[in-house]
Chain A
Amino acid sequence: MPDALERYEALRASANAAYAAWRSPERPRIDVAIDQSSISNGALRTKAALERVATERNTAVDFGRVHGYGMQWVHPTVQITFPDGATVLYGPVREADAAAIVDEATGRWGAAAALRLGTITGERAGVPSIRQHPFFALEPERRLLKNLGLTDPESLDHYIARDGYRASARIFGRHLSEEIVRNTLNEAGLTGRGGANFPAGTKWGFLFGAPGEEHYLVCNADEGDPGAWVNRVVMEGDPHLLLEGMLIGAYGTKSKAGFIYLRDEYPLAIARMEAAIRDAEAAGILGDDIFGTGMEFHLRVIRGAGAYVCGDETGLLASISDERGMPRVKPPFPAARGALNKPSNVNNVETYANVPLIAAHGSDWYREMGTKAQSGTKIFSFSGDIVRTGFMEVPFGVSLAKVLEACGGIADGRKLHAIQPGGPLGSLVPASALDKLVLEPASFLPYDAMLGGGGIVFGSDRTNVLVLAEMFAQFVEEESCGRCTTCHGGNQRKTEIIRRVMDGDGRRDDEPNLMMIDRTIQFSNCAHGQLSPKSMRNVLQHFHAEYEAAMRGEDATLSLRGATRFRVAQPRDPRVEEAVAICPVAAFRGTPGARSIDDATCIHCQACTDVAPGAVVREAKPAAPRMVPIG
């Protein structure tokens, strides 16, 4: 009977052949980037257009698929791989550009010169390497993302040919001690990437030592923080990396079954993870007889249904177990009572994704990146009022100011106003902190802030920080599971107060009340309640002048309802009638040429200034004498 490593080598040999043929194809191939962001940008229409052009012309070109490379602001992108193995990245490629791309691929080099972004691999005269693009200035080396652009994410062969599953075959084949596997993770310094930062190897040890045979290994893929799509990139871009991490996790925790709890908002990630599981089972890498060792590990995807609080591990475990996804009191911890009431271990997607890399290259290699306190690299997603929205993988410790530079700075000539890391339970940090912040959890602590799961949103001076605070207040209120009165009642009150302040009806006792609510909510059971007051607390800590101004009915950003109004500035401008027509609440008064806006009816949606900028303006509300109640 062949042992695990022989089985792996057999898989590897056929994978190598398939991958070599894909990397250096006989005729040019156009790979369209297909991922959630690309699809949102029309990648499927681009793909259909490319195929139509190729068919009409009967050209000698093939089509394939990759994941986007990180530069989402130029989506949809395509890659052309030439027979010599060189791969060039293009974007944004719209339907109208299809002919140029097909021409460029099939002998008319130069036809799509204007769309070239750089080479992914190989060389082409006059085309710089994509690695020279300023967006990637902070990425010394891709580790978690090493396969992006270089593999078809739906191909098991491609993953294997790029060293995938080799480390796990070695672990299973040589019957490595489970303790060594776990210790290697701790030596590497791998900690939970969901935000809690707990040492992964230690956590695995809890489940390993748990009684009974039925252990469940669970992946938290419920990436619910708006503005974070780190886990999505792993699952859509390299699904087998997560599977291999969980496979090693199953070994290190003696688990025979596991779940990937994946949010409903990621349909493509669900499809790719399910397909990857099927492919790995068919190849004998998952299932009943892993690499012929007789060991088993069965994985299933559980599709969430839009409950943010299921990102809390006990909420997630309840949700898997056919219950309402409400977090519960710990202990018992998941290692004692988890999925289906059996001992379980929960880690984040990115935590598992790091495991195969550490197992393959060792802890010293892993520690080459990052800082002393936080080793390794991490994927971050950057969005908001920046020029370049996208994701990158950087070593812990890079400067946030440099990140903003790589992202092209703040768009529209605006100024940075607020930094928002860590989602709704995260923080609002002022622009003045930019130069002092580095991407490492400890760096955010002096601001009573947290780095979180990897999403960072940059806000400009176009938006009052209370707008974000109100958004998160409503979010945590709606997503509160309702178990703790502190959380569901406290967050309702908090939202009401913030809205009142934004509407210009703030009261003197609002601030002490907000602080009291803050102190009270912290007595909630789970992290959702405990962390929910943070963003509003940050407003009072770091943006107090802005809060005070709102209390006076003033707002330099002109984004608060209570401090602004809409006015017809040029009544004779013909576009004013367009504004009248678009207004969804019929707030315009008077006759053509003599229009005005009734502020009491206006809902401040900005449709009028969208169609008639300059003719209709948003401006500061004239100061009115205002009674401020004492109580």
Chain B
Amino acid sequence: MPLETEARAQIRAIVAEFRPEHGDLLAAMHQVQHHLGYLSREAMEVIAEQLGLFPAEVYGAASFYEEFRFTPPAQTNIRWCSGPACRLKNGGGIRDALLATLGLHDIPGDTEDGRVGLILGQCNGACEIAPMVWLEQHSTHRVEFVGNLNAARAIRMARTLRDGGTIEASIEEAHRA
């Protein structure tokens, strides 16, 4: 039995309501990530104990899904919509411009200082404002939708975030003509 640390006790409280063989694994992982921002090794061990699984089974399941991450999240994530309506309106160019602006090679990726991340978004059916991105702030769980973008607007938005600007300031940049 691993040592009971404060962190483990906190995670244990977060997943206390979940049961083995009850289809609770996804909910447990969501709950932990919601509170802590990612699934640490310790968290997956606690989830495994709680649900009567091996930690490898928890990691195996978690790593299957796009949404779970194993390192702390960036302060603000830009979730780039990969859908077809966005793609028809230069969504691909916006992705490449965001990667270049943030100095990243691929999605998902975070800037070295952990300020901005670029993650993959899936179409949620607000295609009238394509092309779009979501801005997600982990500490507040705030989500803002930024639509009717073009590459230039996306670059100004990302530069503002990269250089330490607020979400408000970056949205303002995105909406500047």
Q: Which residues of A are in contact with B by a Cβ distance under 8 Å?
A: 36-37, 39-42, 72-73, 75, 224-229, 232, 259, 263-266, 300, 302-308, 319-326, 339-340, 381, 383-385, 389-390, 420, 457, 459-460, 462-463, 467-468, 471, 475, 481, 582, 584-585, 603-608, 610-611
Distance of A421 from chain B, by nearest CB (Å):
11
Is A40 within 8 A of B61, CB to CB? no
Docked Cα-Cα span, A11 to B68, in Å, equals 43
Is B123 within 8 A of A227, CB to CB? yes
Docked Cα-Cα span, A39 to B132, in Å, equals 13
* CB-CB nearest 6 A-B residue pairs: A229-B125, A306-B66, A226-B123, A383-B127, A305-B65, A40-B126
Is B130 within 8 A of A40, CB to CB? no
- Kindly state the interface size class of chain B when it binds its partner: 35 or more
Is A606 within 8 A of B90, CB to CB? yes
Please give, as numbers and ranges, the residues of chain B lying within 8 Å of A611 by CB-CB distance: 152
Whether, in the assembled complex, B115 has its beta carbon less than 8 Å from a beta carbon of chain A, the answer is: no
Please give, as numbers and ranges, the residues of chain A lying within 8 Å of B51 by CB-CB distance: 322
Is B88 within 8 A of A605, CB to CB? no
Contact of B129 among A41, A302, A607 (CB under 8 A): A41
Distance of A483 from chain B, by nearest CB (Å):
11
Docked Cα-Cα span, A53 to B92, in Å, equals 41
Whether, in the assembled complex, B74 has its beta carbon less than 8 Å from a beta carbon of chain A, the answer is: no
Docked Cα-Cα span, A325 to B60, in Å, equals 10
Please give, as numbers and ranges, the residues of chain B lying within 8 Å of A266 by CB-CB distance: 124
Please give, as numbers and ranges, the residues of chain B lying within 8 Å of A339 by CB-CB distance: 23
Is B93 within 8 A of A604, CB to CB? yes
Whether, in the assembled complex, B49 has its beta carbon less than 8 Å from a beta carbon of chain A, the answer is: no
Known: A319-B26, A324-B60, A339-B23. A383 touches B130 (CB 8 A): yes
Docked Cα-Cα span, A584 to B53, in Å, equals 47
Whether, in the assembled complex, B117 has its beta carbon less than 8 Å from a beta carbon of chain A, the answer is: no
Report B89-106 residues with CB < 8 Å from chain A CB: 89-90, 92-94, 96-97, 100-101
Q: A300-B23, A303-B27, A582-B152 are in contact. List 9 more A-B contacts (CB 8 A).
A: A303-B30, A307-B66, A320-B23, A383-B85, A383-B125, A389-B127, A471-B87, A475-B82, A584-B155
Docked Cα-Cα span, A39 to B57, in Å, equals 37
Please give, as numbers and ranges, the residues of chain B lying within 8 Å of A306 by CB-CB distance: 65-67, 120, 122
Docked Cα-Cα span, A323 to B51, in Å, equals 12
Distance of B109 from chain A, by nearest CB (Å):
15
Docked Cα-Cα span, A40 to B143, in Å, equals 10
Known: A36-B124, A265-B122, A585-B100. A305 touches B67 (CB 8 A): yes
Whether, in the assembled complex, B147 has its beta carbon less than 8 Å from a beta carbon of chain A, the answer is: yes
Please give, as numbers and ranges, the residues of chain B lying within 8 Å of A323 by CB-CB distance: 57, 61
Is A305 within 8 A of B151, CB to CB? no
Is B84 within 8 A of A384, CB to CB? yes
Please give, as numbers and ranges, the residues of chain A lying within 8 Å of B153 by CB-CB distance: 610
Please give, as numbers and ranges, the residues of chain A lying within 8 Å of B66 by CB-CB distance: 305-307
Distance of B26 from chain A, by nearest CB (Å):
6
Is B93 within 8 A of A606, CB to CB? yes
Please give, as numbers and ranges, the residues of chain B lying within 8 Å of A304 by CB-CB distance: 26, 65
Report B26-47 residues with CB < 8 Å from chain A CB: 26-27, 29-30
Is A302 within 8 A of B100, CB to CB? no
Please give, as numbers and ranges, the residues of chain A lying within 8 Å of B60 by CB-CB distance: 324
Please give, as numbers and ranges, the residues of chain A lying within 8 Å of B123 by CB-CB distance: 225-229, 265
Please give, as numbers and ranges, the residues of chain A lying within 8 Å of B132 by CB-CB distance: 40
The closest CB in chain A to the CB of B28 belongs to A322
Is B152 within 8 A of A607, CB to CB? yes
Annotate B145-162 by CB proximity to A: 1 below 8 A, 0 otherwise: 101001111111000000
Docked Cα-Cα span, A390 to B65, in Å, equals 29
Report B135-177 residues with CB < 8 Å from chain A CB: 145, 147, 150-156
Please give, as numbers and ranges, the residues of chain A lying within 8 Å of B126 by CB-CB distance: 36-37, 40-41, 72
Please give, as numbers and ranges, the residues of chain B lying within 8 Å of A73 by CB-CB distance: 128
The closest CB in chain B to the CB of A75 belongs to B128
Is A340 within 8 A of B124, CB to CB? no
Whether, in the assembled complex, B83 has its beta carbon less than 8 Å from a beta carbon of chain A, the answer is: yes
Contact of B97 among A39, A383, A384, A603 (CB under 8 A): A603
Known: A603-B97, A605-B100. A36 touches B84 (CB 8 A): no
Please give, as numbers and ranges, the residues of chain B lying within 8 Å of A481 by CB-CB distance: 64
Is A41 within 8 A of B147, CB to CB? yes
Docked Cα-Cα span, A72 to B123, in Å, equals 15
Distance of B76 from chain A, by nearest CB (Å):
18
Most chain B Cβ neighbours within 10 Å, of A340, A459, A611: A611
Please give, as numbers and ranges, the residues of chain A lying within 8 Å of B125 by CB-CB distance: 36-37, 227-229, 232, 381, 383
Known: A72-B126, A384-B127. A325 touches B84 (CB 8 A): no
Is B93 within 8 A of A463, CB to CB? no
Whether, in the assembled complex, B113 has its beta carbon less than 8 Å from a beta carbon of chain A, the answer is: no
The 30 listed contacts between A and B (C-beta, < 8 Å) are A41-B126, A41-B128, A41-B145, A72-B127, A75-B128, A226-B123, A228-B123, A264-B67, A300-B23, A303-B27, A304-B26, A305-B66, A307-B64, A308-B122, A322-B21, A322-B61, A323-B57, A325-B61, A339-B23, A384-B88, A389-B85, A390-B128, A457-B85, A462-B88, A463-B87, A468-B88, A471-B92, A606-B93, A607-B155, A608-B152
Is B87 within 8 A of A305, CB to CB? no
Contact of B151 among A224, A471, A605 (CB under 8 A): A605
Whether, in the assembled complex, B25 has its beta carbon less than 8 Å from a beta carbon of chain A, the answer is: yes
Distance of B28 from chain A, by nearest CB (Å):
9
Please give, as numbers and ranges, the residues of chain A lying within 8 Å of B94 by CB-CB distance: 605
